[in-house]
Amino acid sequence: MANKQKTNYELFARKTIQNILEYFDTSHKGLTAEQADQMRERYGDNKISSGKKTPFILEVIKAYITPFTLVLISLGIISFFTEFVLPPKGDKDLFGVIIIFTMVIVSGTMTLIQSVKSSQAAEKLTSMVKVTSLVKRDGEYNEIPMEDIVCGDRVKLAAGDMIPADMRIISAKDLFISQSALTGESYPVEKRAEEVGNTRDSETSFENLVFMGSNVISGSAEGIVVSTGNATLFGNVAQALSDAPIQTNFEIGIHKTSILLIKFMALMAPTVIVINGLTKGDWMEAFLFGLSVAVGLTPEMLPMIVTTNLVKGATAMAKKGTIIKNLNSIQNFGAIDVLCTDKTGTLTQDKIILEYHLDCDGHEDQRVLRHAYLNSYYQTGLKNLMDVAIIESAKEELQTDRMTYEKIDEIPFDFERRRMSVVVQDQHHKTQMITKGAIEEMLEISSFVDLRGEVVALTEAVKQEILGKVRDLNEDGLRVLGVSQKTNPSVVGEFSVKDESEMVLIGYLAFLDPPKESTKQALEALHAHGVDVKVLTGDNALVTESVCKQVGLGAERLVSGEQIAQMDDETLQGVIERHNVFVKLNPQQKSRITKLLRENGHTVGFLGDGINDAPAMKVADVGISVDTAVDIAKESADVILLEKDLTVLERGIVTGRETFGNIMKYIKATASSNFGNMFSVIVASTFLPFLPMLPLQILFLNLIYDISCVSIPWDKMDREYLEEPKKWEASSIGKFMVWFGPTSSVFDITTYLLMYFLICPAVAGGSYHTLDAQQKIIFIAVFHAGWFVESLWSQTLVLHALRTPKLPFIQSHGSFIMTSITTLGIAVGTVLPFTAFGEDLGLMELPGTYWLWLALTIVAYLMLVTVVKKLYISRYQELL
């Protein structure tokens, strides 16, 4: 029974209610606080361990052991043997090994810090969105977090609730449960309180047991928790499944990019070793140089920069009212190009007012209001905003406290019938069934109509007259429900859907849900950011059309659920591209449209807050809900809005794009820069009589550059970049490398020529081949210093050039943090040749003439990058 053993569901299904209460030592007042603590100690927490927090030691391992750090660690170990173990005593050197492992430690530590921050941020953000249950303790019902529930708790259930644990039902009224998460069956099943006597095929088939992971479709119930956490059926299923979650497009993109860069490094580093070994004759020196080049090609800061961007993005979104439940969904959020949303509460104010209660002649009639009140008040399902409006209006206009009715039965609402019925009895034992629902469905079940005080047959002519009046109300933006009744229906206790027939239509209710003032502006902003909004609603065509026109959403032709039911998938795929407003949809049709939009190549977000939205949210790329939504909707969502407003959503999408842009900025700029350096090294190694840069110099150069890149997550993106959805395409990184890598090589090669033929001979006293050994040392040290400084300047400044399609520093400039840190990195590298540490690295002071040439080189380089950038954008229509 505890979390450590399997639950005997048949035992609890067979027990009487009194036996259940005695088993858990509880009563009709529920557990006391002390008993709850004892139960928690005995049976465990109501948490599934498969979703538990990653242990800190695993966080450490994941931070320090990445594809890139594994490469660095391998190179460090090889370097340790080649530079310290194998050389003779006087030539042993640990400096290169120290730099390599410093890179591993810096990268791993910063990734670990951001991972811990990420976990804390995710926990903090998730804690802002609580799924609670109504639990009875010490004789009172209170909403408590789902994880605080224990075995023996008495829990009340209503439509829209998630089942918080496995429970035995002790009382139920028209309770219908969706068990699709456990059984795969899409149709809800009815549950009852009576104990069962015969064995069932499976646990879920017991009619008096409900299970964690299911949700209430309609009706109400009360139950006793018999199993929590891992001991639940859901817990067993979760533990049986692989812990590895399905990879998002974002994670797949990161993985593909990592593999691409490692393959590139594995190909190029041996090439450098072979060329230098053949041209210089010293294979050990060539090997060490090749190792250093491999380190220089490794973007070891990638995991840290990705994590930092995601945490920073999630934090920024939270400040704007958007809670990210899964950090990796940020990229998908920014990539949304189609947003599917319901009408009510998203386009409208979600403050429904009962504007009119009319008889079938179109006159105000309190009798219609009274019957509507009885229907809304006595139903036990989820009371929607229209029920609340009816009850509030009745309390103002009618003496509801004097209404003495007893509820006999009810037929709950479902999304196929689109109506619900209650059966009530007055003090004179007169029984009547009262049904309210969508006007078309009410006309289908009504055979009569109350016109001018007389009950007459509902002929086709009368039906068209009524539909004409309803259409007039719909065109004014009013939503209309019909109210029907019949006196003394069939035998009490045996009511079912078939009793909803031969009823008398007595009138209709007209509700007003005006559009939000911000909706039109938000829709325009979403459109400007490349997001196509599609309305998927269960409401009728005329009301939806009226609202859509008011908010500026084109609704020339609306597509109905009835039409969609007649279409095959291929036909519907074309229809959903051409139309934006779909009406009278059931939950399965919302889900079908969402799925087909994805198959058409769109990244789809679905914004919903009701039970009927949950299936579509699960199949969307990004499920979006609101903090006030029903539990099942919040559980299905990747993103929670603290306010049901498209303006909040639009701000979140923009932040998602900014986060993605900064990640791509680092990857593309670093990959192209590394490729350019590699190309330059191959050229230099072929023609120079010495190494173009010493291994230690390459390692230190890479360290300075990596530290500068830490500032990228705090950079900003151009407004134009945020206007279009962005998708991760690893192939674009390869194209970027090929275009921009050789661009930097052009000026690396001009720097080689300048240093070799002009500056170094001027400092050392002649051309290289005419110098003695000491002069050659000076020549090589000046050469190394010149390329070290030029390489650092060009590599760092290209970050600023490639961060924007515009002219860098003039039309668009980096953030203060990025500009400050990259400037500091350049400053450190520039003064290094003038210091004792620079001398230890094999660098030497540079003459004054060098700086003029450096300025000309950098200006020319940035100009060439700008030209290539324009050609690249012209060819591929994007930069990042």
Handedness of CA 223, 227, 230, 236 (dihedral sign): negative
Task: Give the C-alpha separation, 149 to 135, whole Å.
Answer: 8
Task: Give the C-alpha separation, 178 to 630, whole Å.
Answer: 14
Interior/surface letters 465-497, b for 16+ CB within 10 angstroms, e for the rest: bbeebbbebbeebbbbbbbbbbeebeeeeebee
Residue type, 259: I
Residue type, 293: V
Report whether 542 contacts 475 (CB < 8 A): yes
Ramachandran region, residue 738 (left: φ > 0; alpha: ψ -120 to 50; beta: rest): alpha
Place of tokens 């590394």: 674
Residue type, 793: W
Q: Which two tokens stand for residue 448?
A: 């009569």
- Using alpha carbons only, how large is the chain's radius of gyration in Å? 35
Active site residues: 342
Task: Give the C-alpha separation, 812 to 254, whole Å.
Answer: 27
SS3 125: helix
Report whether 350 contacts 385 (CB < 8 A): yes
Q: Which residues contact 839 (CB under 8 A, 6 or more apart)?
A: none
Q: What is the DSSP string of 331-347?
A: HHHHH--EEEE-STTTT
Show the CA angle centred on residue 175, arms to residues 36 and 166, nearest 5°.
35
Place of tokens 């948490």: 47
Beta strands in 281-418 (DSSP E): 322-324, 338-341, 353-359, 405-411
Q: Which residues contact 122 (CB under 8 A, 6 or more apart)?
A: 314, 324, 325, 327
SS3 794: helix
Beta strands in 497-621 (DSSP E): 503-512, 532-536, 559-560, 581-583, 604-607
* Full 3-state SS string of 14-53: HCCHHHHHHHCCCCCCCECHHHHHHHHHHHCCCCCHHHCC
